[in-house]
Structures are given as structure tokens and as C-alpha cells.
Amino acid sequence: MKNTILTLAAIISLASVSVYSHAENMKNNDVAENGIYVGANYGYLKVDGKDDFDDNSDVIQGLVGYRFNQYLAIEGGYVNFGDYGNSLSNAETDGYTAALKVSYPIVDRVELYAKGGQLWYSTDYDVLGFSGNKDGEGVFAGAGVAFKVTDRFLINAEYTWYDAGITVENVSNGADTDTDFKQASLGVEYRF
């Protein structure tokens, strides 16, 4: 969790410094081409693993990022993967992400993008009466398409895969469950 706080602090610091330089250059640059953006996604989550946690859930995600130009951005986010499992074994996971995002405009109002990075997550679980909490980290990758409603406001559709190895202590000898989260979502983005 300490690494998560340091990573988020670094992203916020970079964004803060960039706000000042962006304000100085705003007269010469298109605001929608570079600068800070915020976003939110809501969608469907498929939990896929070698355990009893397999399930479907809703996923909610909040994002903040900085676009260096129309092609490259860094992005940080919070993801609530929701509750999943069954009456014998269930869990709830949330986490933070840091990513590199690459975009490519294909026409005036449509752009394709791909992103990948690091996920830090925390899982509360209950398996056959054994409860606990486990922190972990993994990687993720995603791709999507964004539609510009205006130069600043976009609607997107995205698919993201997260690799998570949730370890359940005191059950199954603490074996990793090698769980994947697969997210399909719709979202919005606002560029400052």
C-alpha cells in the first residue's frame, strides 16, 4: 500500500507541475490536445479464476490523467471491482492503477486507444468462515474507442484485463488462485 501512495503522489505532483506549464502554453496549444483530463467508467466485470470466486459483478472506475500530446498520456485510477463469489466463498476487491495510454485518432471525432500498467489491489474475503484481507499487485492492459461529443467531452467503450493472484490464508494452504478480472465498460472523459 505504501508503493500505491508513493505512485499516486508522483502522478499528482507531475500533474500539478504540468498544470502551470500548460497554462503558460495554452495560448499556443489546443487545450483538447494536451493537458489534464478526468474520467469515469461503469461496466460489467467477469471474475475468472481457478477457485469458487468465479462470478460476474459491476465495476466502477475513476480516472485522472495527463495528455502530453494527442498520442501519449499517463493515467492513474481507482477501481471498485465489487462483490463476487457465492455463499461459501466470496470476496470484495478494489485497487489503484497507474498506466501509460497511447491514442490514435482515426477520424476527426473518433480515436482508438490502448493502455497498460500496474494494478495495486486489496481483497477482503470470506471462505468457509475464514475471513481475511490480502493486498497484492498485478499488471493490466486495455483497449477502447473514444467518441468526441465536443473537443473536451468524450464517451468511450473499453475492454480491460487485470491479472490478480489472490492468496487466501488458512485455506487451501494459502495457494494463489490466479484470478483474472475482465472488464467491459462505458465511460466519459473530460479534458481541461
CB neighbours of 188 closer than 8 A, spacing ≥ 6?
Answer: 39, 40, 153, 154, 155, 156
Q: Is 2-191 CATH 3.30.2130.10?
A: no
How many angstroms separate the CA atoms of 10 and 5, rounded?
9
How many angstroms separate the CA atoms of 124 and 110, rounded?
39
Q: What percentage of residues in the chain have a pLDDT greater than 70?
A: 72
Burial classification of residue 66, based on how many CB atoms lie within 10 Å of its CB (0-12 exposed, 13-18 middle, 19 or more buried) = buried
Q: What percentage of residues in the chain have a pLDDT greater than 90?
A: 50
3-state SS, residue 71: coil
Confidence of residue 54 (pLDDT cuts 50, 70, 90): low
What confidence tens digit (pLDDT) does each residue in 57-107 have?
A: 889 999 999 999 999 999 999 999 888 777 777 788 899 999 999 999 999
CB 162 within 8 A of CB 119: yes
Average per-residue pLDDT for the chain? 81
Of 122, 61, 48, nearest to 92 (Cα)?
122
